[in-house]
């Protein structure tokens, strides 16, 4: 990027960026038809032709097995269909470019997706024109390099759980976890505030130990109603769910790290889980660079081409190749009539059973789940 040229000049044709997480900008639950999918692929062929290389689009939530069709299983089958089974004795030489537009979803699914993609690529690049929020931020964490537009947003990895006040809704486990910490700090500050006042009021005629007990009882009675609905199991569950995102981030960072700075890796993972005020905090290019993620600015040409393809999805879920050679292999395999062996296959010989139930190519038309992690 030329020094002294602002983003507004370079991206003068860009639309307003979507908010950090807005249900109105979420991927629609309406399945994408085969005709719509073909249109996206054709546009992807056109837009990635001049960019060169292998291009894959992941658009939508990361679904878990409980949603009926695990995203990572679908991606695993797709990769094996196009590239074949990975040969551990002959590491891949290709660079895999993955365009991501996602509000998040299952942390497990997103983590396994990064592992699967890495099995098929010597270098994994992730491109984010708009957003890779929440769980999908793990793709940026695990990529060799992530390209962000000026409007792109990553997001914190704090897990979403059922809201204790209304289980029909979700809330951040970090909010719940930190609320208890806040109450404990409030109790401590109450003791510190009450003790000097008690000493003054009694004109130092009572033992300080007795006054400490009085101040403690006062503080405890003040916070007891706040903690009444919180059990040790709740508190432990919140902490454990937060450690999932932190653990996944650490593992991915270590996997691609060329140095042994474990402290820096743990600090970055901690920042992504605990370091932001709320779940919708937008981690843009500058913030991603500041905390230590391997990011580069997306060029205006890349942004224009890739956002055109994402927009063509019309907020419907899409998983598939955009580059012509790979998309043709994918299309040929998905439309090939099943052989007798395939027609009579059982669960004893699934097509793709690593990390989840077998998922067919047709499953990428399954509607999105309501649940976000």
pLDDT of residue 1: 42
pLDDT of residue 47: 95
Whole-angstrom Cα distance, residue 61 to residue 74?
Answer: 13
Burial class (CB in 10 A: 0-12, 13-18, 19+), 230: middle
pLDDT of residue 297: 97
Rg (CA), the chain: 25
Torsion over CA of 50, 55, 61 and 63, rounded to 10 degrees? 170
Residues in the chain: 373
Buried/exposed code over 24-41 (b: 16+ C-beta within 10 A; e: otherwise): eebbeeeebeeebbeebb
Mapped onto helix, strand or coil, the DSSP state of residue 315 is coil
The residues with which 101 forms a beta bridge, in sequence order, are 59
Given 2.40.128, 3.90.226, 3.30.160, 3.40.50, which CATH number is that of 28-155+282-365?
3.90.226
Instruction: List the chain domain ranges.
Output: 28-155+282-365, 164-276
pLDDT digits (tens, 9 = 90+) for 254-293: 988 766 688 899 999 999 998 888 888 999 999 999 999 9
pLDDT of residue 202: 86
Lowest mean pLDDT among 65-79, 185-199, 223-237: 223-237
Lowest mean pLDDT among 216-220, 269-273, 314-318: 216-220
User: For residue 366, is pLDDT > 80?
Assistant: no
Question: What pTM was estimated for this model as a whole?
Answer: 0.73
Whole-angstrom Cα distance, residue 297 to residue 334?
Answer: 35
pLDDT digits (tens, 9 = 90+) for 75-129: 999 999 999 999 888 989 999 999 999 999 999 999 999 999 999 999 999 999 9
At 20, is the pLDDT very low, low, confident or very high (cuts 50, 70, 90)?
very low
Tell which wins on pLDDT, 215 or 339: 215
User: For residue 323, is pLDDT > 50?
Assistant: yes
Whole-angstrom Cα distance, residue 51 to residue 133?
Answer: 25
Phi, psi of 161 (to 5 degrees): -130, 170
**What integer best gives the mean pLDDT of the chain?**
78
């Amino acid at each position: 990027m030329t020094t002294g040229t602002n983003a507004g000049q370079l991206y003068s044709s860009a639309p307003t960026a979507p908010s950090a997480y807005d249900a109105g900008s979420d991927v629609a639950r309406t399945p994408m038809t085969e005709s719509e999918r073909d249109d996206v692929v054709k546009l992807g062929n056109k837009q990635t032709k001049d960019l060169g290389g292998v291009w894959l689009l992941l658009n939508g939530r990361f679904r878990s097995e409980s949603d009926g069709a695990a995203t990572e299983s679908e991606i695993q089958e797709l990769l094996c269909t196009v590239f074949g089974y990975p040969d551990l004795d002959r590491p891949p030489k290709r660079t895999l470019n993955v365009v991501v537009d996602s509000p998040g979803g299952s942390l497990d699914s997103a983590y396994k997706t990064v592992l699967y993609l890495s099995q098929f690529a010597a270098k994994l690049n992730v491109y984010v024109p708009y957003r890779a929020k929440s769980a999908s931020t793990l793709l940026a964490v695990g990529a060799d390099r992530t390209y962000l537009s000026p409007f792109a947003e990553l997001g914190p990895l704090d897990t979403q759980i059922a809201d204790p006040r209304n289980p029909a809704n979700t809330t951040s486990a970090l909010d719940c976890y930190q609320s208890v910490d806040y109450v404990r700090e409030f109790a401590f500050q109450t003791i510190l505030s009450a003790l000097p006042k008690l000493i003054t009021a009694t004109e130092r005629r009572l033992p300080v130990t007795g006054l400490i007990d009085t101040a403690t009882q006062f503080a405890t009675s003040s916070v007891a109603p706040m903690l009444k609905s919180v059990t040790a199991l709740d508190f432990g569950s919140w902490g454990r769910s937060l450690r999932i995102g932190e653990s996944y981030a650490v593992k991915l960072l270590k996997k691609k790290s060329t140095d042994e700075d474990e402290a820096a890796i743990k600090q970055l993972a901690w920042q992504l889980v605990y370091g932001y005020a709320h779940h919708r905090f937008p981690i843009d290019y500058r913030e991603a660079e500041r905390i230590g993620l391997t990011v580069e600015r997306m060029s205006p040409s890349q942004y224009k081409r890739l956002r055109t393809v994402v927009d063509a999805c019309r907020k419907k879920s899409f998983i598939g190749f955009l580059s012509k050679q790979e998309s043709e292999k994918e299309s040929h395999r998905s439309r090939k009539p099943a052989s007798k062996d395939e027609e009579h296959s059982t669960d004893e010989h699934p097509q793709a059973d690593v990390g989840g139930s077998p998922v067919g190519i047709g499953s990428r038309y399954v509607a999105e789940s309501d649940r976000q992690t």
